[in-house]
Amino acid sequence: MTVIPSSLLQQYGASLNRFAKGEYIFHESWPAHFYFQLEEGSIKMFNSGENNDYIQGLFSHGESFGEPPLIADFSYPADAKAVTNCKIWVLKKVDYLRLLRDNPGVHFEFTKMLAIRLCHKTKLLNAMNTQNPEKRILTIIDYFKNKVPHPSPCYEVPFTRQAIADMTGLRVETVIKKVLRLAELGELELLDHKIVRH
């Protein structure tokens, strides 16, 4: 779901910038000066670890990312990197804040979106604290399944087992084993190596 219509972004001075696959949009600890919203492609926000990355979020068409530092004046808590070639609307912070003040309906939708993300983070943190790998995996899959309404009750998980591992803090070997177990329990279905959630 698009947070801010592109026509409104342009009205406040946004530019449509291209980023190549693998290119960083911003780095952890950088000050936040811009609002970002994806027009095409996908990006990931992540923290680099000693052995692997921990993915904080994956974002695609119409979604914005990296907003909390704009509102609360703190540095980015993670890196943002293009997973594919991207077109991203970029709007200066001062113009973004003016847009929110001038458009209470947009401001409300933005606040609602942040509340949904906060709820997801809370659920994922709770799942991770249980030390139950199956629950971690289902929590992350269900978040993305419910993020955007689908016409079909079946949701084909668009992530690799490695990406699921990076989002849940599990080893990829554990994810592979637990996905098989969840399929045996009927929680997931495996179709041509694809993970499907009903």
The C-alpha atoms of residue 123 and residue 106 are separated, in whole angstroms, by 26
List, for residues 158-192, the tens digit of each pLDDT value.
889 999 998 888 999 999 999 999 999 999 999 98
The C-alpha atoms of residue 60 and residue 18 are separated, in whole angstroms, by 14
Q: Across the chain, where does the E strand assignment appear?
A: 15-19, 24-26, 34-40, 43-48, 53-59, 64-65, 79-82, 86-92, 155-156, 188-191, 194-197
The C-alpha atoms of residue 32 and residue 34 are separated, in whole angstroms, by 6
Contacts of 87 (CB under 8 A, 6+ apart): 16, 17, 18, 19, 38, 39, 40, 41
The answer regarding whether domain 130-197 maps to CATH 3.30.70.980 reads no
Contacts of 92 (CB under 8 A, 6+ apart): 13, 33, 34, 35
The whole-number average pLDDT for the span 37-66 is 89
- Residue 53's nearest CA partner among 24, 92, 11, 13 is 24
What are 43's two structure tokens? 């990006």
Element (H, E) at 113: helix 104-129
Cα separations (Å) of 170 from 38, 57, 167, 176? 28, 16, 8, 10
Q: For residue 126, name the pLDDT band (cuts at 50, 70, 90).
A: confident
The C-alpha atoms of residue 166 and residue 129 are separated, in whole angstroms, by 16
Domain pair 6-103 / 130-197, same fold? no
Q: What is the pTM of this model?
A: 0.80
What's the whole-number average pLDDT of the chain? 91
The C-alpha atoms of residue 2 and residue 17 are separated, in whole angstroms, by 17
Q: Which fold has domain 6-103?
A: Jelly Rolls (2.60.120)
Name residue, tokens 């249980």: 130
List, for residues 52-83, the tens digit of each pLDDT value.
788 888 999 999 999 999 999 999 999 999 99
Domain segments of the chain as ranges = 6-103, 130-197
Q: For residue 23, name the pLDDT band (cuts at 50, 70, 90).
A: very high
The whole-number average pLDDT for the span 106-119 is 90
